[in-house]
A and B are shown apart, each in its own frame.
Chain A
Amino acid sequence: MSPAVTSPQPDQEFNVRLEQRRRGGALWRTAFQLSTIVGIIALTALLYNVMDSAFGYVAVENSVDPASLAIGGVPLEEQSKDQLVRVLQANVSAGLFRRFEDDQPFAERGRDSVLALILERVVEPQVVETWSLTDSLLRRSEVLAEAASSYPNAIVRFEAWIDPDFVSTPQSGDPQRAGVRTAILGSLWVIAITIGFSFPIGVGAAIYLEEYAADTALNRLIRTNINNLAGVPSIIYGILGLAILVRALEPLTSGTLFGLTDPTSANGRTILSAGMTLGLLILPLIIINAQEAIRAVPGSLRQAGLALGATRWQTIWAHVLPNALPGILTGTILAVSRAIGETAPLVVVGASTFITVDPDSPFAKFTTLPIQIFQWTSRPQDVFRNLAAAAILVLLALLLAMNASAVLLRNRYSRRLSG
C-alpha cells in the first residue's frame, strides 16, 4: 500500500462513516430503550414481590388436636360456654387460669371469647412454614408433597394474609391473629393532625408569598428557605420533632397542660407530636404546590375584584382562592400521601412498638402502617414477612385511593379552565 493510492474518495469515507454512525445510533437507541424497560421491570418486580408474599400455602401445626378436646362426642365448636370453660381449666395451668379470671371473670365473658381463648392458649396453632404465591400456584403438588413429608401433623391450607380480619383486628404477637387495625387508625389520626396543622399554614404562607410579598430581602429569604427545606432529609425532621415537640413541649404534646394525667401517656411521644412533625415535613411541599396553583389564577380576576371596590383580602377570598382551590387540594393530597408513607421521622419521634388498643385522643401513643411494616419486616421469622407484605398492600391501596382522588380533582380542574 503506497500513500499515493490509499486516500479514499471523500464521499466513500463519508459513506463508511455514515454506516458506522447509523449503527452506533441504533445501538444506543436500544440501550436507551433497555434502560426504560429496566425501570419498568423494577416496578413490576416490586409489586410482584409483595404479592408473592401476601398469598400462598401455609402449614399450621396445633399443639393439641382440637378433636381431642371434644366432650362426649360434642366437638369444640358446638360446646356450651360452661363446657368450654371446663375444657380450658383442664388444659391450662391453674395459675394461668386464675390470671384469665383476674383479667375478666368468666361469668362476664361471652362464649366466643372463651372459645377464642381455648384456640389461642390450648390448641395453639403455629405456622411452621409458608410458601410463596408463585410456588403455591405453579408447583402446587410439590409444595403439598413437601408439606406432607416435613410436617405430617400439620394442616396445609391456602392463606390470603390480607383479608377483612387482617384489617379489622388489632396488633398481636401471634402472626395468625395479628392485624393492622391499630396501625390504620393510628395513621388516620396522625394524618388528620398533619393536615389540620399544615394545610392552613401552608396555604396562608403561599397566599402571602404570591399576593402580598413585595420583593424584599425577607421575602426572598423565605422563598429560598422553603426550597432548601424541601430538600432536607425526612429523618432530620424527626430529630427536630424529638427535641422540640417531644422534649421541650412535652407538657403540650403529652396533654398534661390540659389536665390529662393518663397513666398510659407517652411522655410526649404522642399522635400530636407525630402529626406535627409530619406537618412540618410536608409544609414546604404544600406551600410550593399552593403557590403554583395561586399563580395560575389569571390576574384579570384580581383586577376585576379590586376595580369593583373589593379589598385585597376580599378579592383573594372570593375570587383567587375558589379558583385556585382544586390545584391547592391536588397538591395537598400529593403531599399528604408522602406523609402517610413516612417512617423514619416517626421512629425517631418515638412510635410505639406494640399497641393493641385503638388510639382515642391526640395524646395517645401511636403506631402507623409504615411503622408496622418496618417492625414486621425487621423480625427474623419468615411468617412476619407475609404480614408485612399484606400490610404493604393495605398501605398501597390507601395511597392509590388518595392519588386517584388527586387525579380526579386535577381532571375536573383542567376541564373547567378549558371549558
Chain B
Amino acid sequence: MATNRAKAFQSDDHPWVRPMDLRRRRRPAESLIQGFLLVCGALSILTTIGIVVVLGKESLDFFARRAWENTNKSVTRSVSEFDGVLQISDTGQAIEVGSALRLGDEIMLVTAMDGTQVQVERGLEGTAVTIHRQGTGIFRGQWVSLVEFFISTKWNPQIGQFGILPLVNATLMTTTLAILVALPLGLSVAIYLSEYASLRLRSLIKPTLEVLAGVPTVVYGYFALTFMTPLLRQILGRDVVQIYNTASAGIVIGILILPLVSSMSEDALSAVPGSLRQAAYALGATRLETAVRVVVPAAFSGITAAFIVAISRAIGETMIVAIAAGAGPAFTFNPFQAAETMTGHIVRISGGDLSYDSIDYNSIFAIGLVLFAMTLSLNIISQRIVRRFREVYE
C-alpha cells in the first residue's frame, strides 16, 4: 500500500521529487517528552495531595490517640479470663458506660454498670484476655475530642490538655498587630507612590522597599528581639513589657509584610486608567479626592486581595514569633506578655530529635492542619475577590 502511494508521487515529469509520505508520523520521543512534562506539571497536584493526606492522616492519629488516665480505682476481686463483670472500688473518678478501660495490658469496653459492678467486653483492640489480680489499677481511656480541641484554653499534650485556643489566640494577636501596622502604612505608601511621587522617586523607593521583602525572616526575628523589644521596654517600662512578647513580634511582622501590601496595592492603583483621574480633575476634584474617592475604589479588588494575602502571610509567619514571641503556650490578651503561636510551637517542639510515637509528633500535624486551613481559605477568598470584583477597563 505505502509503496503504491509513494509511486503515485513519482511522476516521470519530475524524477527529482523524492517519494513523500504525508501521513502523520508517530514520534515516540516527542510523546515521551510531552508525558514527562505533564508529570512535572502534575507533581504540583501531588504536592497538594501530599500535604492534605499527611496533615489529615497524622491529625486523625492525633485525635484517635488515647491518653490513659488513672482513675484511682482498682478491682476489688481478682478477674479470671472468663469473667464478664468487674467488681470495682468506690473511690476515684467515675466510669461511664461506653468508656474504654485498661487493666494491665488488656483493654475493655464498659457495656453496662450497676454501682460497683461493671459489665465489660474483654480483650478489645487485639489485646490478650488475661487474669487480673485483686487491686489492679484501672485506667480510663480518653480521646482528644474535637470540642476540647477548639474550646479548651489549655495546651499541654503531655498531660492530656488539648485546647488549641492559646496558640490560635497568640497567632491572631500577632496577626492583628501586624495588620494594624502594615495595612494603613502599606496603603499610604502605595497611594503616595502611585498618585503623588514622581517617576524617578518611585523607581528609587519601590526597589528599596522590595529589599525589605527579600530579607530572610530569621533576620527579622533577630531585629524583633534585639531592637523592637528593647525599644518597647524603654518606652513602656520594663515591668509592663516582658522580654518575649507578642507585641514586638507583631509589629515586626507588620514591617515584614509592609512591602507586600504596598507593592501589590501600588500595582492595583497604577492599573487604574489615567482617564478616570483626568475625569475627576476635570470635575474640580483635588488630588486627594481623586486618589481616595476615585482611584482607590476603582482598584478596590486588587487592594483587598493584597490585604488578604498579607494576612495569610502574617498567620503563617514563623521565625519572628519563634524568636521573639516567647516559648510556652499562654492564653492571654495582653500583647506585652509572652505567648506561643501555632507556628512558634511547631518550631519549638520539632527542634531536635522528635520521636515518631510521641503525642508531640502527632500534635504538629493537627496544628499544621488548622494553620493550613486558615491560610488556604484566605488565599482562595482573595482569588475569588480578584475574579469577582475586578473592574475591567478596556
Q: List A residues at the B interface (Cβ < 8 Å).
A: 21-22, 24-25, 28-29, 31-36, 38-40, 42-43, 45-46, 49-50, 53, 200-202, 204-205, 207-209, 212-213, 219, 221-222, 224-229, 231-240, 242-244, 247, 267, 269, 280, 283-284, 287, 311-313, 337-338, 340-344, 347-348, 350, 353, 370, 373-374, 377-378, 385, 388-389, 392, 395-396, 399, 403
The interface residues of chain B lying within 8 Å CB-to-CB of A338 are 214
Determine which of A242, A280, A313, A403 lies in contact with B33 in the assembled complex, contact meaning CB atoms within 8 Å.
A313
Determine which of B322, B365, B379 lies in contact with A239 in the assembled complex, contact meaning CB atoms within 8 Å.
B365
Residue of B nearest to A24 (CB): B288
B150 at the interface (CB under 8 A from A): no
The interface residues of chain B lying within 8 Å CB-to-CB of A205 are 37, 40-41, 43-44
Determine which of B36, B219, B316 lies in contact with A373 in the assembled complex, contact meaning CB atoms within 8 Å.
B219
CA distance A201 to B42 in the complex (A): 10
B309 at the interface (CB under 8 A from A): yes
The interface residues of chain B lying within 8 Å CB-to-CB of A280 are 47
B193 at the interface (CB under 8 A from A): yes
B9 at the interface (CB under 8 A from A): no
B55 at the interface (CB under 8 A from A): yes
Which 8 A-B residue pairings sit nearest by Cβ, starting from the closest?
A233-B316, A341-B216, A204-B40, A35-B188, A32-B192, A208-B37, A344-B318, A231-B379
User: Which B residues, 342 to 372, have Cβ-Cβ distances below 8 Å to chain A?
Assistant: 343, 346-347, 350-354, 356, 364-365, 368, 371-372
Determine which of B258, B286, B316, B378 lies in contact with A235 in the assembled complex, contact meaning CB atoms within 8 Å.
B316
Task: List 16 A–B pairs whose Cβ atoms lie within 8 Å, in order of A's numbering.
Answer: A24-B286, A24-B288, A29-B196, A35-B184, A221-B45, A228-B379, A229-B47, A231-B375, A233-B315, A236-B51, A237-B51, A240-B50, A240-B51, A340-B216, A341-B218, A395-B216
Number of A-B contacts (CB under 8 A): 260
The interface residues of chain B lying within 8 Å CB-to-CB of A212 are 34, 37-38
Interface size counted on chain B using CB atoms at 8 A:
88
Q: List B residues at the A interface (Cβ < 8 Å).
A: 27, 29-30, 33-34, 36-45, 47-48, 50-51, 54-55, 58, 184-185, 188-189, 191-193, 196-197, 205, 208-209, 211-212, 214-223, 225-227, 255, 258-259, 262, 286-289, 292, 309, 312-313, 315-319, 322-323, 343, 346-347, 350-354, 356, 364-365, 368, 371-372, 375-376, 378-380, 383
**Contact between chains at B380 and A228 (CB < 8 Å):** yes
CA distance A385 to B262 in the complex (A): 31
**Contact between chains at A233 and B212 (CB < 8 Å):** no
Of B55, B288, B313, B371, chain A has the most CB atoms within 10 Å of the CB of: B288
A88 to chain B, nearest CB (A): 35
Residue of B nearest to A344 (CB): B318
Determine which of B40, B55, B217 lies in contact with A343 in the assembled complex, contact meaning CB atoms within 8 Å.
B217
A49 to chain B, nearest CB (A): 4
